[in-house]
Amino acid sequence: MSRITFALFIIIFTATLSTQSSAETIHSRESLLGFAEHLMSEGEYYRAITEYQRVLFHYPEDSTISVRVRIFQAYLQAKQLDTALEEVQKLLLDFPEKPAALAEPLHLAGAELFRTGRYEEARIYLQLILDTWPHHTVATDAKSLLSSTFLALGKPKLALELDSDLNHNINKINIPQRNPRLAGALSAAMPGAGQLYAGRPTDAAVAFTVNLLLIGSLVSAMDSNHNMLAVAIGIFGAGWYGGNVFNAINSARHYNQEAINQASREYYQEIQPSSLQFNLQRSY
């Protein structure tokens, strides 16, 4: 009889320990995640990343995608875009079946790349969303953002194919442009004039002043019969003069690209004013 009582005691004691251990495990996981979320809300992104990584180490079986997405978001909030993109790439490699949970981080990555002017990279992420999850909740915004990205890349036809509204509004988009040939001609006639035309007054002042000094030095050397010095100054001056012309041409091209970038950003903000807001709600 005593043996049966002892055996029952052992069984009950073991079951109690197992229940307590299970409860402690759940509490531990939730505690880690709760602390990580607290750190995120306080802007302690790197410490939050450490806690998320701790969760992945202890509980890899039920936290993989959601917690890794939070790590990506933490890097993004910490202004570490390239590191965040590395996390996205790892997710794509580790989950080749591309679960829908990856759509939102890809959208955030594309939006941030667009915001920072890295349009070709943004295009890749946004196109992947439309190709893989065309009916996802972020797909509509990704489509508009991709249209604006094509506009920034100087591909208005592709932009129009994605966004029919753009066809009605494209004439309203103000994109001031500068003629690169005219900029070069202006700087050839008067050094610095092309840069001033392209919206770069500092470069214009430098080009005009240096060319003026070189001309003065050349005249002075010739008047003093310093022929070798005059030749050296003339050669250097000719190179500087030619560089001034090419600089004016490039300045006009840069002005045009910046104008396109600005117009595309303004257009996107107009049609999707809240789309760049990060959705950092808990997803586990």
pLDDT along the chain (284 residues), means of 10: 53 49 55 87 91 86 81 93 93 88 92 88 93 90 85 78 62 68 85 84 86 81 80 82 85 78 66 44 43
129 within domain boundaries:
no
Q: Which domain holds residue 61?
A: 2-97
Residue 168 covered by a domain: no
Answer whether residue 208 is part of any domain.
Answer: yes
| 220 backbone dihedrals φ, ψ, rounded to 5° | -65, -45
Instruction: Answer with the one of 40, 73, 97 that is the final residue of a domain.
Output: 97
Domain boundary residue among 97, 130, 160?
A: 97
Through-space distance between the first and last CA atoms of the chain, rounded to whole angstroms: 50
Residue 135 belongs to some domain of the structure: no
Among 51, 67, 97, give the residue marking a domain's end: 97
Would you state the pLDDT for residue 86? 94
Residues 6+ apart with CB under 8 A from 35: 51
**153 token code pair:** 């890349």
d(CA 280, CA 284): 12
Q: What is the DSSP letter of 149?
A: H
Total domains, the chain: 2
Domain containing 22 — which CATH number? 1.25.40.10
What is the pLDDT at residue 14?
54
The answer to whether residues 75 and 108 touch, using CB atoms and an 8 Å cutoff, is no
pLDDT of the residue at 80: 93
Angle at 167 between CA 166 and CA 172, to 5 degrees: 70
Query: Can you give the pLDDT at residue 170?
Result: 54
Residue 128 lies in a domain: no
Q: Give domain status of residue 221, yes or no.
A: yes
Residue 225 falls within a domain, yes or no?
yes
153 in any annotated domain: no
Q: Name which of 239, 238, 221 is nearest 230 in CA terms.
A: 221
162: left (phi over 0), alpha (psi -120 to 50) or beta: alpha
